[in-house]
Amino acid sequence: MVQLETFKERFDYLYIGGAVGESTFDCHRYLNQIFYNSNRWKRLRNQIIIRDEGCDLGIPGREINDRRLIRIHHIDPITIEDIRDNTPKLTDPDNLITCLYQTHQAIHYTGWNGCIQDIVERTPGDTCPWR
């Protein structure tokens, strides 16, 4: 990922393009929920957020300021077998990246138009309707 310097390059690399409602874990969803609620995952998640400095796709200047909107994305998507067999892919830091909730949804479903593409820096008076 570090070789891809821009947000767009990283997004394009990660884009999966699934469909909303498309089966992933199906009736085995409880397996990934057990994993994502484990202390092991929570510790690793915090390490990845620190490594990526809390930035969307690890891009400086794209800080995620609301912890509730932070997601950790598996670069190479995980499967039921990965969870059942506890494969290294689950917890390999090189397979994980911090992203904004909207970016995560866009990676999986909506594509480039579904993510916040440009961060607009706020300035004093920028909400004044008569300027």
The number of C-alpha atoms within 13 Å of 126 and in the hemisphere containing its C-beta is 5
10-39 pLDDT per residue, tens? 999 999 887 655 556 667 778 888 999 999
With a pLDDT cut of 90, the percent of the chain lying above it is 63
The arithmetic mean of pLDDT across residues 43-67, rounded, is: 96
* Secondary structure (DSSP) of 46-96: HHHHHHTTTBGGG-TT-B---GGGEEEEESS---HHHHHHT-GGGT-GGGE
Q: pTM higher than 0.75, yes or no?
A: yes
Is the per-residue pLDDT at 128 higher than 80?
A: no
Query: pLDDT at position 100, please?
Result: 96
Name the residue ranges covered by the structural domains of the chain: 7-114
- Higher-confidence residue: 2 or 21? 2
The pair of structure tokens assigned to 17 is 């393009």
Note the pLDDT of residue 131. 61
Give the range among 3-12, 20-29, 93-102 with minimum mean pLDDT.
20-29
Q: Is 53 a residue whose pLDDT tops 80?
A: yes
**Which pair of structure tokens corresponds to residue 47?**
């390490």
Is the Cβ–Cβ distance between 81 and 125 less than 8 Å? no
The per-residue b/e assignment along 82-109, b for 16 or more CB within 10 angstroms, e otherwise, is bbeeeeebbbeeebbbbbbeebbebbbb
